[in-house]
Chains A and B, each alone.
Chain A
Amino acid sequence: MARPRQAATLGWRLVLPLALVVLWVGLSQVLTSPSAKMMLPPPEAVGGAAAQLALTVHPLFGMPPLLVHAAHSLERLALGYLAAIAVAVPLGIAIGYFRGADTYVNFLVQAMRPISPVAWIPLALAWFGVGITTVVFIVFYGAFFPIVANTIAGVRGTSRTYVRAAVASGCGQLRILRRIILPAALPTILTGMRVGLGVGWMSIVAAELVGTQSGLGYLISEARFHLDIESVVVGMLAIGVLGVLSDRGMRWLQTVLVPWQPRA
């Protein structure tokens, strides 16, 4: 039962991207002037650039450049994202659970939330200079708020019935936190982590455009500098593919960590 349906939905999912590719091919047949090619490079040119970036070994790195840049981006993303989880989840639990923490921290959190990670790049460059720390900081900042906000919402949203049932069993505060509130909040926390990962991807590219000498964001900004628009598109596509893969990973994590929910 499940298999054909999965195959069918996968097929449907590909319809829209394929339609875009067809549109792209069609447009590139019509728009053939040099200036039009700068705005929309033809697919075969992008394919050529992709092959160049992904297959030829870079003399300095000993690896294809696309892989090197992707690996650097992934490393920074992982560092900033894991740090964001490590800080945001405990903080969110504290804010959601203890009234006191709420009064002191929540206001600050809410005030910093609307400040885009990109707005922090100048300050981060001043503090950490050009390099990995700046990028990791920007990813951390971007991923932090969705995670903390969802953790607070998850803890607050824990049904009173469950807490009452636990209290009625003679359960202490700490055990209620560990056995009732955390598992009840976990699906919402994981949703926040998923959103945070997406924001992390957006932040890392922005930060690498100016903050480093490597990574997919750097690849894009370098290619633009050399008017190599095909490589710009290759960089964008690489981010899209990695973004989809990491989101898949998060969804898999959700099904593993939340086995008590019926599969949607």
Chain B
Amino acid sequence: MAVKVEAVGVGKRYDGRRPSDAIVALRDFTLQIFAGEFLAIVGPSGCGKSTFLNAVAGLERIDEGRLFMDGVPITKAGADRGVCFQDFALFPWMTVRENVEFSLEAQGRPRAERREIARKYIELVQLSRFEDRYPYELSGGMKQRCALARLVAGDPAVLLMDEPLASVDAQTRLILQNEILRIWGENRPTAQRKTVIFVTHSIDEAVFLADRIAVMTSRPGQLKEIVVNPLPRPREERLRGEPTFSRLTMDIWDLIRDAAVKAIET
């Protein structure tokens, strides 16, 4: 399988006001993500998950190591990667349609073409009735669906999702998990799927969605272990009740429990 994104010995330090305030967010972080793969990253809070995602997005510079996409070093943001932020980051002054069109607008596509593509994705996330509404008029789940449509409208090869479902309610969350799988291309052959890096603090979400789950250590974040998910695709709701599902969830929890407890206490 082709490597889509590769991190080799990546280190990232945030300088504080004083030298003693400097925080090492990532140290010697090495990971390969394959083309068409759905990879989840879990780890204790503050371990550098968002930092890594932002570095892949080209929004954050790294201090050490190297970061590649398709074998080319990542130096800046680009339309080949799409980012979905935890708090949606929908633009409040744009309607649903304008938000979804935005990445196409940024690519300089003509208006009519933008319209048509946006309509398709708005339909995909079932927001057609709301396409002229502003974000403040939407529920949390609708906002998240709009953010998903905006994410994929520009047709990026790599989807970077930073806890995209953290702020929606539990039921909406289950529904949106299926929607994310659909957008990723679960029903298509691997070659036609997008590549997803999905950061979450929810272990069963990672197990339900991902092909592999990268477990990180506490800060400075390193790769602790990669867990390969044996659950068959397409993922169906009944899998949540299978012994394999709960065993996998427990195994991963065992890997991060100590660090997670420590992250809360410090």
Of B85, B87, B91, B106, which contacts A172 at CB under 8 A?
B106
Q: Is the interface of A mostly helix, strand, loop or mixed?
A: helix
Q: Which of B75-83, B194-202, B256-264 contacts the other chain? A: B75-83
**Residue A87 interfacial (CB < 8 Å):** no
B136:A165 contact, CB within 8 angstroms? no
Contact with A along B151-169 (1 / 0, CB 8 A): 0001000000000000000
Tally of A-B Cβ pairs under 8 angstroms: 63
Contacts of B135 in A (CB 8 A): 260
Give B76-114 interface residues, CB cut-off 8 Å to A. Answer: 77-79, 81-83, 85, 87, 89, 91-94, 102-103, 105-107
Chain B interface size, under 10 / 10 to 19 / 20 to 34 / 35 or more: 20 to 34
Given A169-B103, A180-B91: A262 in contact with B136 (beta carbons within 8 A): yes
B59 interfacial by beta-carbon distance below 8 Å = yes
| Contact call A165/B93, Cβ cutoff below 8 A | no
Q: Is the CB of A166 within 8 A of B93?
A: no
Size of the chain A interface, CB-CB below 8 angstroms = 22
Interface residues of A in 219-264 (CB under 8 A from B): 258-262
Within 8 Å CB of A259, what residues of B?
Answer: 134
Interface secondary structure of B, over-half rule: loop
A33 at the interface (CB under 8 A from B): no
- Give B142 Cβ to nearest chain A Cβ, in Å: 15
Which A residues are CB-close (under 8 A) to B58?
168
**A201 CA / B253 CA spacing, docked (Å):** 66
Beta-carbon contact of A183 and B106 below 8 Å: no
Question: Which A residues form the contact surface with B (CB < 8 A)?
Answer: 161-162, 164-172, 175, 179-180, 183-184, 186, 258-262
When A and B form their complex, which 4 residue pairs have the shortest distance between CB atoms, in order from nearest? A183-B93, A170-B79, A171-B106, A169-B103
